[in-house]
Chain A
């Protein structure tokens, strides 16, 4: 018997997908912002700190990058509250996990960028009498930022895609919206035929916007 498609039910519940996508974007922006701050701080500590700092950050990066995001999401949401007296919502828990996870990728991005800033520029900063902090703030960081933009954009798009994992904690983002519609209407084929293009289109839209931004800031 051939399958009869019925997209009507999906459109009737489309608000779940629309708001779900909005929440996916919100999760992405928050996690990207926190992850960037963490990653940048660790990258600066890594290039200017001593051996102990470097080893600690290296171990953090190595650990996080080798563990599945799903396991970390479970560990933070179910594991940590079982041993320490802390209570947080699924959404907070997921944002924290995603930020910490992506910080490990962003450290590497920023570290490579900081090392790629040419020595002549920092020497020139030293020659005109800038302190170490001023050199970092006015010379190294702005140049690094422009160097890392392309890999930063790619990392942010991956981060957006990984927000789909939040559905396992019942955070009502796009994938959870799809699961809700599936559980309530059993129109699973239709819903994934709609949700998958939504992810692809949004991911490429983000990439397109970031590429425009890159082009404006590119070092020519």
Chain B
């Protein structure tokens, strides 16, 4: 049996894993986007008693390797009263990792908007939430998108590490197929191509988005 035949025959058993990888990445990216934007906004506009703990948390999480963060949430979580299944623990770890990045990206993007914009919005009588939604965020989006897409790819790549706590994602289903066929190379290459396809389509999508949001001059 040639390598290609082996791959074709094993392909159906990879779909489930691919679905888990996509699901884990999508959930983590969504949670991280919500959490990270809130944290990042608080980092810019919050009073210092709010800013300080967030700063500490974000810097702490950014200092932990993703793999160790996954193990930490997976093993230490239950001791802290966090009763999570292994999938939920993995998602929580990936979301924390990604949210700390998104918080920094948000902070940078908001800071890049000239402060005169905020003052002008206040002068015409907009409330604080209105100022954020109608004035600051639309202008910050342009600066936010490119690094955010990078963080999304990082999350997809980081999701391969959840295979190490026994979640059958794409990475682990590839390992399982190799365990049956004893033919590692074609499957690792196939896996690399699948991850490449996911991430490459994300970055091409982002180029379109960036063009769409390039209307604001800074």
Residues on A lying within 8 angstroms of B by beta carbon are 3, 62-63, 65-72, 74-75, 78-80, 82-83, 161-165, 167-168, 175, 178, 182, 188-189, 192-193, 195-196, 199-200, 203-204
Task: Out of A68, A71, A200, name the residue touching B64 (CB < 8 Å).
Answer: A200
B-side interface residues toward A, CB under 8 Å? 60, 63-69, 71-72, 75-76, 79, 153, 156-161, 163-164, 171, 174-175, 178, 183-185, 188-189, 191-192, 195-196, 198-200, 203
Contact A71 B195 (CB under 8 A): yes
* Contact in complex: A68, B76 (CB < 8 Å): no
Q: Are A71 and B65 in contact (CB under 8 A)?
A: no
Q: Is the CB of B64 within 8 A of A196?
A: yes
Candidates A3, A82, A178, A204; contact of B71 at CB < 8 Å: A178
Contact status B65-A161, CB under 8 Å: yes
Q: Residues of B contacting A72 with CB < 8 Å?
A: 192
Q: Which residue of A lies closest to B203 (CB)?
A: A66
Do A189 and B188 have beta carbons less than 8 Å apart? no
Which residue of B has the minimal Cβ distance to A72? B192
Which residues of chain B come closer than 8 Å to A182, judged between CB atoms?
A: 75
A23 to chain B, nearest CB (A): 14
A62-B200, A168-B164 known; A189+B64 contact, CB < 8 A: no
Indicate if the CB atoms of B195 and A66 lie closer than 8 Å: yes
The SS class assigned to the A binding surface is helix
> Is A175 within 8 A of B65, CB to CB?
yes
Shortest Cβ gap from B132 to chain A (Å)? 29
- The answer to whether B196 touches A67, judged by C-beta atoms less than 8 angstroms apart, is yes
Tally the A-B contacts, defined by beta carbons under 8 Å.
107
The interface residues of chain A lying within 8 Å CB-to-CB of B192 are: 63, 67, 71-72, 75
Measured in the bound complex, the distance between the Cα atoms of B175 and A188 in whole Å is 25
Residue among B68, B159, B191 having the largest count of chain A Cβ atoms under 10 Å: B68
Q: Contacts A62-B200, A79-B188, A83-B185 given: A70-B195 contact, CB under 8 Å?
A: no
Question: A68 to nearest B CB, angstroms?
Answer: 4
Please give me the residue from chain A that is nearest to B192 by CB atom. Answer: A67
Q: How far does the Cβ of A5 sit from chain B's closest Cβ, in whole Å? A: 9
Whether the pair B184, A67 counts as a contact (CB closer than 8 A) is: no
In the docked arrangement, what's the CA distance between A192 and B192, Å?
Answer: 30
Within 8 Å CB of A75, what residues of B?
Answer: 184-185, 188-189, 192
* A1, B98: Cα distance in complex, Å: 34
Q: Are B65 and A192 in contact (CB under 8 A)?
A: no
Q: Which of A67, A82, A162, A193 makes the CB contact (< 8 A) with B183?
A: A82
- Complex: chain A residue closest to B77, CB-CB: A189
Chain B: which residue is nearest A188 at the CB level?
B75
**Smallest Cβ-Cβ distance to A2: which chain B residue:** B79
Q: How far apart are the CA atoms of A36 and B109 in the complex, in Å? A: 30
Give 17 new A-B contacts, CB below 8 A, not counting A66-B199, A69-B160, A192-B76. A65-B153, A66-B195, A67-B196, A68-B156, A68-B159, A68-B160, A79-B184, A79-B189, A164-B67, A165-B65, A167-B67, A175-B67, A196-B69, A196-B72, A199-B64, A200-B60, A200-B64
Cα A204 to Cα B69 with chains together (Å) = 16
Complex contact B67–A68 (CB within 8 A): no
